[in-house]
Amino acid sequence: MEQRTIAFIGSGNMAEAIFSGMLASDYDKNRIIAANRGRERLEYIRNKYGIQITQNNHEATEKADVVVMSVKPQMMEEVCTALTDIDFSSKLVISIAAGVTSQRIASLLNSDIALVRVMPNTPSLLNRGMSGLFANENVSENDKQYAQQLLKSVGEICWTEQETGINSITGISGSGPAYFFLFMEAIQQEAQRQGFDSETARMLVQQTALGAAEMVVNNPDLNISTLRERVTSKGGTTAAALSTFNAHALNDIVSKAIQSAVSRAEEMEKLF
Ligand SMILES: NC(=O)c1ccc[n+]([C@@H]2O[C@H](COP(=O)([O-])OP(=O)(O)OC[C@H]3O[C@@H](n4cnc5c(N)ncnc54)[C@H](OP(=O)(O)O)[C@@H]3O)[C@@H](O)[C@H]2O)c1
């Protein structure tokens, strides 16, 4: 991966996931700066990763070729407006703040910035992330490659041509882990009703979910529907369960749920 000096403005969970992924991909630790409000968190980061640390966002941003905005969305205004005197013309800004549009960030920084907006998800903490990326018109091909490599260090990536695609990605993979958790919880609860203790019920569901996900990943040439059909014998137990799901229109429920998440993402863009 190309070695540029990169500063994380806000060094919480998601920033840590990304820089730990970068370090695992042999990124030069001397070129990573973690900026954070709390000192204790920075000491932990220095001890664990040996990267540069600072409580001074301004100094970190000035030094960096790439600035990752990784504070909570509600902090973006305060953090960005303190950086407006910095010349961003030769810097790449990468924002992972949910619900803050590229236009909004450019207006907060008072600059015509090159910006890649990213929607990661929580499994990035385990290098199993799924990130959606959108580049504004000022981002070069080289910058796109850099941003792509950065997020690939914690999982898979998907570019969207239009910024509205970030809201769709939020509703699909951003919020997606919770959909699977909900489904797994429901199976675990029923397993307990069938007489298993909660630990055994959890093992039954987690291993099944993992196995199903691995089957999808390991069979890229098979449609997911084919995998389903292959385990569904006519008149069998799986067919009985699936017909109950269909009778309750599971597909419609999923579709409506994702649409609700996308609408909420659109509303949230107006808040920050
Ligand atoms: N976690 C996810 O799954 C996920 C998914 C998609 C997008 N995101 C986005 O990722 C961003 C970070 O989320 P997170 O989960 O990593 O949150 P987090 O763990 O709370 O991290 C935010 C960090 O920012 C620091 N901070 C707050 N104000 C600051 C300031 N003025 N200057 C410097 N640092 C400051 C906080 O430090 P203190 O604790 O000292 O205040 C904290 O360490 C958010 O914008 C979120 O929307 C997260």
CATH number of the CATH domain containing 74: 3.40.50.720
Residue at 232 is within a domain? yes
- Count structural domains, the chain: 2
What residues line ligand 1, using a CB cutoff of 6 Å?
A: 9-15, 35-38, 41, 57, 70-73, 75, 79, 96-98, 119-122, 174
Which of these three, 123, 139, 163, is where a domain ends? 163
In sequence order, the 6+-apart residues with CB closer than 8 A to the CB of 187 are 204, 205, 208
- 102 shares a domain with 33: yes
Residue nearest to atom 48 of ligand 1 (CA): 14
Alpha helices by DSSP H, listed for the chain, are 13-24, 39-49, 57-63, 76-81, 102-109, 141-152, 164-169, 176-193, 198-218, 224-230, 237-247, 250-269
User: How many A from CA of 95 to the centre of ligand 1?
Assistant: 11
- 125 shares a domain with 21: yes
User: How many A from CA of 130 to the centre of ligand 1?
Assistant: 18
User: How many A from CA of 9 to the centre of ligand 1?
Assistant: 9
Q: 57: domain range?
A: 6-163
- 262 shares a domain with 219: yes
- 143 shares a domain with 51: yes
Residue nearest to atom 40 of ligand 1 (CA): 38
**Best mutation site among 16, 18, 36, 77 for ligand 1 pocket (most ligand atoms within 8 Å of CB):** 36
Pick the atom of ligand 1 nearest to 78's CA: 31
Check residue 1 and give its pLDDT: 86
272 residues of the chain, pLDDT tens digit each = 899 999 999 999 999 999 999 999 999 999 999 999 999 999 999 999 999 999 999 999 999 999 999 999 999 999 999 999 999 999 999 999 999 999 999 999 988 999 999 999 999 999 999 999 999 999 999 999 999 999 999 999 999 999 999 999 999 999 999 999 999 999 999 999 999 999 999 999 999 999 999 999 999 999 999 999 999 999 999 999 999 999 999 999 999 999 999 999 999 999 88
Check residue 198 and give its pLDDT: 98
User: How many A from CA of 192 to the centre of ligand 1?
Assistant: 37
Pick the atom of ligand 1 nearest to 55's CA: 33
Check residue 110 and give its pLDDT: 86
**Best mutation site among 9, 33, 37 for ligand 1 pocket (most ligand atoms within 8 Å of CB):** 37
Residue nearest to atom 25 of ligand 1 (CA): 10
User: How many A from CA of 219 to the centre of ligand 1?
Assistant: 36
In sequence order, the 6+-apart residues with CB closer than 8 A to the CB of 34 are 7, 8, 11, 15, 19, 42, 45, 46, 49, 51, 52, 53, 54
- 81 shares a domain with 46: yes
Residue at 1 is within a domain? no
- How many other CB atoms are found less than 10 A from the CB of residue 36? 23
Check residue 245 and give its pLDDT: 98
- 151 shares a domain with 25: yes
**Best mutation site among 16, 57, 71, 167 for ligand 1 pocket (most ligand atoms within 8 Å of CB):** 71
